[in-house]
Amino acid sequence: MKTARNITLVSLLAAGVIAVPVAYAKNNVRNNVENWLDHTAVKATLTFTEPNQHGFDFASVQTAPANKGYVDFVGVKQEFDYALGLEHKLSNGVSRLFVDYDHFEAEQSSGFSGVQENLLGAGAATASGNYEIRSDAVKLGSRHRLNFGSAYSVDLGAALSWIDVDRDFLATQTAAGVSRSLLQEANFRAFGPFFDVATKYHMNAKNKKGLNVQAYAGAGLLYAKSNFTSSLLTGGAAGAETFDREGVKGLSSEMAIKLAIGWDHVLCNKTVFSASLGYMMMHYSDAFNYGATGGAYARFAQGAAVAANPGAGAGNSSAGFPFTRQGPFLEFKWSGAKA
């Protein structure tokens, strides 16, 4: 009995000795998590943007090839997508580390019937087509805040930007009972330095809550790698013509602009909930370098087809066009008490 009692006392003593550092460690972890959350801001953005139209048009013949115009037979539309962001304020109180992610995906199909400059020769034709665009962008960097009085602040940022854009286009044209399809696949991979400036003016300078006005502008230089493949098929695989430009490297530029009106609400625990409504525009120059002049048809027609319709052989051009998006956005942001 005495032995059992001694074992029990020793066990309780050991448990007490162990409980002290465990409780301390647990409390320390909780304090570290709370401190991290207090200095952190999370944002989610709903975007409603449309890409540029270039590259999704058909050349239309009127009375002669010289009088041709363009028909946007697969018109682009605005699409709902999203962006996410995370910021963490450093101990100096004015610098923040951040990571931003932006996603866009669009798909659209349409048709056209009439007199076109077509891939088979001059004359009436019907056409159908669809496109898919996917874009992902990630930025990792830091921002430094400058306060000009209690109402106005400016954030200066520097980041490394990663870009990934894919663009697929399929068009089928039928004239005089013969069909020909065009498949274009292009992708744009790029990375490079990016610099931005964000300003915010609080209408209520006393406690920085309520209505505010925001502006944002950024620009970067990208080292890019582009791939472009265009295949022309007549009656299935017969008479297939393919043009590839793979692994082409070069420099591109990136630009972004946002204007918005926001509202900040301070909660009882001193965290801040913010909402912003505005308009955005982003631009990657020469994202798709190896499309054709004259729109979606990278024309590879030769011989008799060119003789019948001189405009049909105007492809294989390295003329580039950008990838742009523009439209409204709605952003929600939660900021910790010390963020």
Domain ranges in the chain are 1-38, 41-335
Structure confidence by residue, pLDDT tens digits, 202-216: 988 777 788 999 999
pLDDT for 293 equals 38
CA 274, 279, 284, 288 torsion-angle sign: positive
Residue 28 has which token pair? 């320390």
Q: Where are the beta strands (DSSP E) in 73-121?
A: 79-89, 95-117
Task: Determine the 3-state secondary structure of 308 from DSSP.
Answer: helix
The greatest distance separating any two alpha carbons of the chain, rounded to the nearest whole angstrom, comes to 114
Phi, psi of 260 (to 5 degrees): -155, 160
pLDDT for 36 equals 81
pLDDT band at 294 (very low <50, low <70, confident <90, very high): very low
Distant-in-sequence, close-in-space partners of 62: CB < 8 Å, separation ≥ 6 = 68, 69, 115
Structure confidence by residue, pLDDT tens digits, 246-283: 788 888 999 999 999 999 998 887 899 999 999 999 99
Distant-in-sequence, close-in-space partners of 17: CB < 8 Å, separation ≥ 6 = none
Phi-psi region of 192 (alpha: psi -120 to 50; beta: other; left: phi over 0): left
pTM: 0.79
The yes-or-no verdict on residue 191 having pLDDT over 90 is yes
Helix (H) or strand (E) holding 131: strand 122-148
pLDDT for 228 equals 81
Structure confidence by residue, pLDDT tens digits, 79-119: 999 999 999 999 888 899 999 999 999 988 777 666 665 55
Least confident range of 15-24, 169-178, 318-327, 329-338: 15-24
Distant-in-sequence, close-in-space partners of 27: CB < 8 Å, separation ≥ 6 = none
* Mean pLDDT along residues 238-252: 74
Overall fold of domain 41-335: Lipocalin (2.40.128)
